[in-house]
Structure 1
Amino acid sequence: MVFKLLNYPYLVQKEIITNMDFTSIVLLAKCSTRMDSVVYSLNYNIVELRYILNRKEFTVHVSTDGEKFDAVISFEFVKELLDNEDGFYAMQQILDHMIKLRITRDIEGKCVIQVCKRWRKLIQWKFQEEFQTLFRRVPEFVIHTPLRPILARNSSNCESVTMDGSIVKAEVVEEILSQFPNLKNVRLCWPFVDPVNADSKLLKLDSLVVEQCKTPLLKVLLRGFTGRHLILKNQHLDVLEVEEFINGWTSNETFPNMETIQIFTRRFPFDWEQILDRIQTQPFDSSKRPAFYSINSQKYMDSSSSAFDCSNWVDIERQGDRKLASIKASSKVIRFFVWN
């Protein structure tokens, strides 16, 4: 029995389509011009849209709760398409080009589209635009690259990028970041040993997380970061480096916009008492600040809770504007939160 969805009233169409899985919704939009109009007219329960890029694939994921992401569609870039392979073949017109696609589903039901490598940037640009229109969300990019990534012209207002892969040079990171003019949040997930320039975009981000942060980058960030949230994960951290960034903030010479710094270290033991002996601290005073600090505004949270009990932390006061910051340190993590 043939089920003619377009013959039903719009409200029935809406109910049926919005209860389909997202892969089926994407494929349904490709059936006809009329179906495309119906599919794109609906609102879907999407919290986040994520694009994952690597050397061979461009994959689209969506999340309905902001935590679990489901793969919707994957583009595989191959040297050539062979007509004798299983699957449905289609032609897609992009600008003045007719591009051949091979469409299949994998064992999990995700749509897989194969296309020749030479069309990679064009396909990526076109479908980025389509998914943002369909799901009405600004995407987050996850880039896996040991080399320079093959990035299409960016048609989004992307604010968040995660870069994962092997060790790369600072100039490659800067090149990637420059393709996202509205970028606010970055997570770097590899050892980064190159120094960065004073005008580096890394220093001006709203939120920055660096996994396995090495000493050259660590020193630059603790002196020149001008954003709001900084998380550093480092194998070793010297007491003097911590004291230097605290004194820089206290003297109003560094971190003009800082709200939170979290530094994770595996150095044992970390002699926090050395620092406390040399800086002027205050005990918690409920008349000056609340006991709990919330950092809901931070994009990349590395804690299961967004609220921290700071009632047993020590406080310091900044010169000039007399802002308070609270500090807590252990052998594993140092947290430095500024109160507005």
Structure 2
Amino acid sequence: MPINLLKMPYLVGVGIVTELDYEQIFLLSLCSRRTKCLVEKARIKVPKLMFNFGKYEAFETFVIWVVSDKKWLYVTSMIHVPKLDLNRVSNVNPAVDDLAETNTPHITAPLRTVDYELADKEHVPELNLEEDLNEESVPDYNVIYGSRYLKKGSIRHCIECANEPMAVQKTFQDITNSIFHYSDTCQLILKCKGRLPNIANVKHIEIKHDTVDTEFLTNVLMRYPDPHTLSVKSTIVGDIPEDSSFFQIQNIYVASQCGPDYFHNFVGRNMFLERVTVTEQDLIQFVDRWISNEAYHNLETLSIFIDYPLIMNVGLIRQAIEFEEYDPNEPEKRPEHFVIDAPFFQHCAKDQYSLRNENVVEIKRNTDGKRAFLSIYPTHFQFITR
């Protein structure tokens, strides 16, 4: 038997709203102005919002998540289609409000709920998900079809929309910010090239398309200026200009094959490079420029993994720089650990790095005596400042 939520005492109604999950809260807010007002009065706040933009077949998809304690909690998703297929849409009949409005404010976007246990398998695309994730830690993917990470009988909604995507994206960000009282920066994951989503206050960007060119990177940085973190997991085609704003980003992660110009031109705080084609002289030049205070004034950490099959001559690099080795008889001269807390997506999460180690040497900057620690291996170079 349906219960009219709005006819309950105010505190009871608010209490019920606070027990709902984020998806249920979002759907409730769309039922009517009165239910949206009730949701807002519940004062529910979220730690971080993430927007995932990609494509399924020829359609743009837009998924909103709440990120909490490294878990991705689903809020809503939209698929932008040229024309609505009304035969596949179920009318919303909100029992909680006799005066309910079934359309999303300012958007003609019928709601379609999918029972994943009963879904036609022909309409369920394969998901590219990691095997070891659980229901509460779902990675990003283009659309929200599928039953693999849903309990039996669970229902997850999807909104198909034929309106102008840019207007839809802005409206749904505004709605989400309103009901969750959110004003902080947000994270954006891009899995397709072309027109960029209309999202504001983006400070953390992750690019996951197969390949991207430097023009696309330039467009991203123009559309979302001065990001705090950029993580590029795509193959980068072309050379990034030395004066590009790319190198001014505070935290950068690059999985693509790249050269020494990436760290030579970097003026930010943390950089992580996975496949670098580099010589011993490139690394010696980097260390010399830091010691002389010629460059890297803001640098905190640099992690470089040498691209296979290259191998570095560790002895040659050590001979070219002046350093102090670790003395196990005087361990107190060094901090025991350094916590690398570079805010890359799913990378370099707080990594406690041991400094009291014979493989870690200490260098000092000439101008101010600032200390840094190096660990040099045939396929890995780690730089940490204190």
Fold conserved (TM > 0.5)? yes
SS in 2 for 1:69: strand
* Paired amino acid for 1:292: H
CA distance in 1, matches of 2:356, 2:17: 51
SS in 2 for 1:275: helix
Residue 184 (structure 1) shift: 0.8
CA distance in 1, matches of 2:172, 2:303: 37
For the aligned residues, what is the CA RMSD?
2.2
2:52 matched residue in structure 1: 52
CA distance in 1, matches of 2:185, 2:251: 17
Residue 325 (structure 1) shift: 0.7
Q: Which of these residues, 107, 110, 113, is aligned with residue 105 of structure 1?
A: 113
Q: 1:130 to 1:86 in 2, by over 3 A?
A: closer
Aligned pairs for 1:3-22 within 5 A:
3-22=3-22
Deviation string for 1:56-81 (max 9, x for gaps)? 1000111332x121322110011201
1:311 matched to 2:353? The reply is no
Deviation string for 1:104-140 (max 9, x for gaps)? 1232522200011x51110001111221232324320
The 8 Å contact of residues 62 and 70 in structure 1, kept in 2 or not, is answered as yes
Q: Which of these residues, 218, 241, 246, is aligned with residue 197 of structure 1?
A: 241
* Paired amino acid for 2:369: R
Q: 1:132 to 1:138 in 2, by over 3 A?
A: farther
CA distance in 1, matches of 2:348, 2:105: 46
Q: 1:272 to 1:44 in 2, by over 3 A?
A: farther
SS in 1 for 2:187: strand
1:249 matched to 2:290? The reply is yes
1:164 matched residue in structure 2: 208
Q: Which moved more, 1:21-30 or 1:35-44?
A: 35-44
CA distance in 1, matches of 2:47, 2:334: 33
Q: Which moved more, 1:74-83 or 1:129-138?
A: 129-138
* Paired amino acid for 2:47: V
Q: Which of these residues, 282, 303, 312, is aligned with residue 324 of structure 2?
A: 282
Q: Which of these residues, 86, 89, 93, is aligned with residue 86 of structure 1?
A: 89
* Paired amino acid for 2:257: C
* Paired amino acid for 1:199: D
CA distance in 2, matches of 1:330, 1:307: 18
* Paired amino acid for 2:365: R
Question: Alignment length, in residue pairs?
Answer: 327
Q: Percent identity?
A: 21
Please list every run of 5 or more consecutive structure 1 residues that lacks an aligned counterpart in the other structure: none
1:294 matched to 2:369? The reply is no
The 8 Å contact of residues 375 and 383 in structure 2, kept in 1 or not, is answered as yes
2:315 matched residue in structure 1: 273
The 8 Å contact of residues 121 and 151 in structure 1, kept in 2 or not, is answered as yes
CA distance in 1, matches of 2:335, 2:45: 36
Using the size of structure 2 for normalisation, the TM-score is 0.78
The 8 Å contact of residues 54 and 149 in structure 1, kept in 2 or not, is answered as no
Q: 1:289 to 1:300 in 2, by over 3 A?
A: farther
2:229 matched residue in structure 1: 185
CA distance in 2, matches of 1:129, 1:62: 15
SS in 2 for 1:57: strand
The 8 Å contact of residues 159 and 185 in structure 1, kept in 2 or not, is answered as yes
1:230 matched residue in structure 2: 271
CA distance in 1, matches of 2:318, 2:256: 26
The 8 Å contact of residues 15 and 42 in structure 2, kept in 1 or not, is answered as no
CA distance in 2, matches of 1:184, 1:242: 26
Q: 1:305 to 1:297 in 2, by over 3 A?
A: closer
Q: 1:238 to 1:88 in 2, by over 3 A?
A: farther
Q: 1:72 to 1:300 in 2, by over 3 A?
A: closer
CA distance in 1, matches of 2:237, 2:109: 41
* Paired amino acid for 1:26: F
* Paired amino acid for 2:211: I
The 8 Å contact of residues 72 and 111 in structure 1, kept in 2 or not, is answered as no
Residue 47 (structure 1) shift: 2.6
Using the size of structure 1 for normalisation, the TM-score is 0.88
Residue 286 (structure 1) shift: 5.3
